[in-house]
Structure 1
Amino acid sequence: MTLRIYLMRHGETEWALSGRHTGRVDIPLTANGEDEARQLGERLRSIPFQHVLVSPLKRARQTCELAGCGENADVDADLAEWDNGDYEGQTHADVFKHRPDWNLFRDGSPGGEMPNEISERADRLIDRLKKLDGNVALFSHSHFGRVLGARWIGSPVQMGQHLILNTASLSVLCYQHENMNLPAIETWNS
């Protein structure tokens, strides 16, 4: 079976709704986020997954469960969100007051992860994924998912700033013409 990776971002949280940087803080889904996760599950219902991997953070685990994929899910620490360090809980406007030219994908987060560190984490996960066959479900987060998409196609972390992921979105990573030398993005932010 050819590898197909179904990347899902978790459903809505209070901090996602308010635009606050949510990295390692372990917050739950909102009621709307729970509904989004169930709707995502409807989209996934007909897809047989050979592997299901989920971030250790509650919002991703809840999304996985509510989408109907939690029974056989394995927690994978590499799927955790970008560690926002000192910027955890702040909005872009908060950060721009002190660093008007700040860009997470270029500058990273003081006290948290730097672009090279999250790139290494994404590459480590990709190396493991490439050893799998069939349909693989990944339940993760916005910024890490964006980095994963960029790294899947061999682009630098900075490309992730151009790959938006909405809550409870579905993206598909695959190989063009089933050729492992041609990684591709089939669907993004659907």
Structure 2
Amino acid sequence: MITYKIHLIRHGLTEANQAGRYIGRTDTPVCGEGMEELRTLRDTYEYPVVQKVYVSPLLRCRQTAEVLYPDSFTQVMEAFAEYDFGDFEGKTMEELKDNEDFRRWVTGGLQGTVPGGENGGEFMKRIILGIHDVFQDMMKQKVTSAAVITHGGVIMNLLSGVGVPKREPIDYAVGNGRGFTIVMTPQMWMRDRCFEVFDVVPKGERIGSNAGALDPFITLDE
């Protein structure tokens, strides 16, 4: 049976990451330090060889794809945009700690809705549909290795939601420019709606380095 590898990689460091701000849909770029880090990672460690790159529409992800996979065919996938933080956008945890809506959102877990933002359940449906569409496209195009350049919140919740082994989202927190390789088979996905979390990206790099997640359901411009 043919197996398909998808390499989920978080975008490069942004100023919002450095400041600890909740930035979901704001189209902030990779900062200068982040670009330098991406080039160092690319030149020092081994990123997987891929036949196609799928990318979040946000600039920080498209910039990351250009650094890590400059010569690869790239397809923008709206489903892989970051969680919409609504009224919390641009704020830090310190600024929000006394906000009652924020407290309810945190204690409500993934099913909660951010005021003016996205419902957690709908977010999960969106990213699962996104990985389904990628898998279908890979089978159709006979692509067996592809990269998805996206956000930490997408990676954490997607792997926790339908990945094996089963772990909490925080266990799949990744640093900028880092990620996980998942392995999918038609039988495993169509029958069980799950995939195997297989390896870390890039080879030889510590996966937890520069992770930005603070909580299973709270992701800072991931």
Using structure 1 for the length normalisation, give the TM-score.
0.85
C-alpha deviation, 1:31, in angstroms = 1.3
* Alignment: residue pair count: 187
- Picking from 109, 114, 120, the partner of 2:119 is 114
Structure 2 CA distance for partners of 1:69 and 1:160, relative to 1, 3 Å: farther
C-alpha deviation, 1:40, in angstroms = 3.8
Equivalent in the alignment of 2:129:
124
Paired residue type of 1:64: A
The within-5 A match list for 1:1-190 is 1-42=2-43, 43-45=45-47, 47-69=48-70, 71-99=72-100, 100=103, 102-103=105-106, 105-131=110-136, 132=138, 133-153=143-163, 159-175=168-184, 179-180=188-189, 181=192, 183-188=195-200, 190=207
Q: Which runs of 5+ in 2 are unaligned?
A: 202-206, 208-222
Whether the 8 Å CA contact 2:181–2:197 is kept in 1: the answer is yes
Q: Secondary structure of 2:69's partner?
A: coil
Percent identity over paired residues: 26
Which range moves more in the overlay, 147-156 or 123-132?
A: 147-156
Whether the 8 Å CA contact 1:38–1:66 is kept in 2: the answer is yes
Give per-residue Cα distances to partners, 1:121-163, cap 9 Å, x unaligned.
012112213322411100011112212212332799x942443
Q: Secondary structure of 2:26's partner?
A: coil
RMSD: 2.7
C-alpha deviation, 1:22, in angstroms = 0.9
Give per-residue Cα distances to partners, 1:79-106, cap 9 Å, x unaligned.
1111111110011222221134542634
Tell me the distance in 2 between the aligned counterparts of 1:7 and 1:130.
Answer: 13
Tell me the distance in 2 between the aligned counterparts of 1:167 and 1:36.
Answer: 9
Q: Which runs of 5+ in 1 are unaligned?
A: none
Structure 2 CA distance for partners of 1:37 and 1:113, relative to 1, 3 Å: same
